[in-house]
């Protein structure tokens, strides 16, 4: 575009000169031609200065455009890096939240097991005592144990209730008068006294199993919390 402009300016200058040369005549030709040449030279010099300024301005604009493009590229890189960092932080937060939720769930489970073990300890305290040998004392004893067992475990509560229901038959046998030891032994089965003793043993075994299972659960939860 610069060469074309220069060619145009040169053509204008030459045409002007030729026009002046053709239009002038006689003795004044030399002076007129000289004046015309000077005028055209001035116009050409001004055009060249304007062209130089325009070229400088264009060069500056191109440099600014290149700098803007470089800044835009850098900004895009920074934005991409920031986006990746945000994605990583978001993923880390999700992972941390999931881990925290898991810990909270395990903590709640552990708290529940600890509460149940507190009740189990009270049951074991009762089982270490000697069983009452009087009817009313035995009934009161097993009512208390049944209340604790029902809070600890459904199956354990059911077994405690079975013991309580069988207690009257045992004391009916215990309070009865027999003519001989043979009769007493035979009635031990027939009156249901043996069933009472068997249910007491079953309850004790079940209570121990419940405690063992809960201790295992506590061990598993605390072990997983440490990982």
- From CA 108, how far away is CA 63, in angstroms rounded? 66
- Across 6-10, 45-49, 184-188, 204-208, least confident range: 6-10
Q: Give the Cα separation of 127 and 131 in Å (integer).
A: 8
Overall average pLDDT of the 57-78 stretch:
84
pLDDT in tens, 151-172: 999 999 999 999 999 999 999 9
Average pLDDT estimate for 29-54: 83
- Residue with the larger pLDDT of the pair 131 and 111: 131
CB within 8 Å of 157: residues ≥ 6 apart: 146, 149, 150, 151
Q: Specify burial of residue 145 (Cβ count, 10 A radius: 0-12, 13-18, 19+).
A: buried
When computed from its CA atoms, the radius of gyration of the chain, rounded to whole angstroms, is 55
> What share of the chain in percent tops pLDDT 90?
43
Residues 218, 224, 226, CA angle at the centre, nearest 5°? 105
Domain boundaries, the chain: 112-225
In the block, tokens 């309850």 appear at 203
CA distance 120 to 207: 8
Question: Do residues 187 and 173 touch, judged by C-beta distance below 8 A?
Answer: yes
d(CA 143, CA 136): 11
* Residues ≥6 apart with Cβ < 8 Å to 207: 120, 123, 124, 127, 149, 156
Q: How far is Cα 2 from Cα 12, in angstroms, rounded to an integer?
A: 15
Distance CA 142, CA 149 (A): 10
Q: What is the pLDDT of residues 100-121, one digit of tens each?
A: 445 445 556 668 778 889 999 9
Residue 77 has pLDDT above 90, yes or no: no
Which pLDDT belongs to residue 93? 43
- In this prediction, residue 99 carries a pLDDT of 45
Average pLDDT across the chain, whole number: 81
Cα–Cα separations (whole angstroms), residue 41 to 12, 28, 33, 34, 45: 11, 20, 12, 10, 6
Q: Which pLDDT score is estimated for 194? A: 97
d(CA 209, CA 206): 5
Q: In whole angstroms, give the CA distance from residue 48 to residue 15.
A: 18
């Amino acid at each position: 575009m610069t060469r074309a402009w220069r060619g145009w300016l040169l053509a204008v200058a030459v045409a002007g000169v030729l026009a002046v040369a053709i239009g002038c005549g006689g003795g004044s030709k030399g002076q007129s031609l000289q004046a015309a040449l000077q005028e055209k030279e001035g116009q050409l010099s001004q055009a060249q200065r304007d062209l130089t300024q325009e070229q400088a301005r264009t060069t500056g604009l191109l440099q600014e455009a290149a700098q803007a493009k470089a800044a835009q590229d850098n900004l895009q890189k920074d934005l991409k890096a920031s986006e990746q960092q945000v994605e990583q932080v978001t993923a880390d937060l999700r992972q941390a939240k999931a881990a925290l939720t898991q810990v909270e769930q395990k903590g709640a489970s552990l708290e529940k097991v600890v509460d149940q073990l507190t009740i189990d300890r009270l049951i074991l305290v009762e089982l270490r005592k000697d069983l009452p040998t009087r009817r009313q004392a035995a009934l009161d004893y097993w009512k208390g144990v049944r209340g604790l067992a029902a809070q600890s475990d459904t199956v354990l509560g059911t077994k405690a209730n079975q013991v309580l229901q069988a207690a009257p038959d045992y004391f009916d046998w215990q309070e009865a008068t027999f003519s001989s030891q043979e009769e007493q032994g035979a009635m031990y089965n027939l009156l249901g006294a043996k069933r009472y003793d068997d249910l007491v043993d079953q309850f004790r075994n079940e209570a121990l199993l419940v405690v063992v299972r809960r201790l295992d659960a506590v061990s598993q939860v605390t072990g997983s919390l440490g990982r």
